[in-house]
Amino acid sequence: MKNIEERVAIVTGASRGIGKTIAKQIASLGIKVVVNYSSSEEKALEVIEEINKNGGEGIAIKADISKVSELEDLFKKTLESFGRIDILINNAGIMRTKPLLEISEKDFDDHFSINVKGTYFACKEAMKHMAYNGRIINFSTSVLGQMFPGYSLYAATKGAVEQITRQLAKEFGAKKITINAVAPGPVNTELFTTGKTVEQIEGMKKMNAFGRLGETEDIARVIEFLISDNSNWITGQTIRVNGGFV
């Protein structure tokens, strides 16, 4: 790969949560970062302000990743701004936990449009535009190893992401690009805690080896390794980052 200060990364869904921490972490290494967001412009600009204040370089680009035309624009604008793309982190996603009988067709379509379609077509854009020796990181979930009521739809989309990651590894290998997925367990983010009771969250804490929720920094450190030259021989894999939750 290029010298680290010459690398450019796109992080989808980077205005909050895990994506925000990843964007800040990799920017601190000298990587130029595109903070993608779909609606929360103010939060995305706050991330950019923090990155730039700490000596990094980044821009915010709006794109709904469930729409292929907007994904194409995201990559086009990145190339116009920085001239290259070395890293893609497909972090954006949604999670609505409902029992089967409460799942609507819209719930189904929304989950697959963002979590699966968005990831898949972002990978397609990466195949077209990413530099040789690049890095792609997709997001799965450690919930795939459990049987939680209400998670069937979300888990189904992440199972698809793991297969996408595995099946595309050889195609990307022709360009010396690695593609892997990370599968966090419960992490202390708005996405995870929204709609859960204190009792439910405490119960989740007890399911791992350390009795706490994961923090966004726990995930970002693994991402930092996977985008480094030290991960050259790792591709097509899903890394469980969950403190022993599964």
The per-residue pLDDT for 193 is 87
pTM: 0.96
Query: Residues 67-77: pLDDT tens digits?
Result: 999 999 999 99
Query: Residues 48-73: pLDDT tens digits?
Result: 999 999 999 999 999 999 999 999 99
Residue 191 in domain? no
Residue 198 in domain? no
**Quick check: 190 pLDDT over 90?**
no
- Residue 202 CA, chain-centre distance (Å), reads 25
Angstrom distances, CA of residue 166 to CA of 63, 117, 158, 161, 227? 26, 16, 12, 9, 17
Sheet containing 32-37: give its strands across: 58-62, 32-37, 8-11, 87-90, 135-139, 178-184, 238-241
The per-residue pLDDT for 5 is 77
Work out the number of other CB atoms within 10 angstroms of the CB of residue 205: 16
Tokens 């290259």, located at residue: 84
Query: Residues 203-222: pLDDT tens digits?
Result: 999 999 999 999 999 999 99
Residue 246 in domain? no
Query: Residues 157-186: pLDDT tens digits?
Result: 999 999 999 999 999 999 999 999 999 999
How far apart, in whole angstroms, are the C-alpha atoms of residue 53 and residue 93?
Answer: 28
Residue 227: CATH number of its domain: 3.40.50.720
Q: For residues 25-37, give the mean pLDDT.
A: 98
- Number of structural domains the chain divides into: 1
Query: Residues 221-240: pLDDT tens digits?
Result: 999 999 999 999 999 999 99
pLDDT grade for 152, boundaries at 50, 70 and 90 = very high
- Where helices occur in 144-215 by DSSP H, the ranges are 152-173, 190-193, 198-205
Residue 206 in domain? no
Residue 132 in domain? yes
The per-residue pLDDT for 2 is 63
Residue 23 in domain? yes
| Residues annotated as catalytic (active site), given as ranges | 140, 142, 154, 158
Containing structural domain, residue 48: 4-186+217-241
**Quick check: 1 pLDDT over 70?**
no
Angstrom distances, CA of residue 69 to CA of 108, 118, 226? 21, 11, 28
Residue 29 in domain? yes
Residue 117 in domain? yes
Q: What percent of the chain has pLDDT over 90?
A: 95
The per-residue pLDDT for 186 is 95
Query: Residues 113-128: pLDDT tens digits?
Result: 999 999 999 999 999 9
Q: H-helix or E-strand containing 180? A: strand 178-184
The per-residue pLDDT for 176 is 98
User: How much is the mean pLDDT over the chain?
Assistant: 97
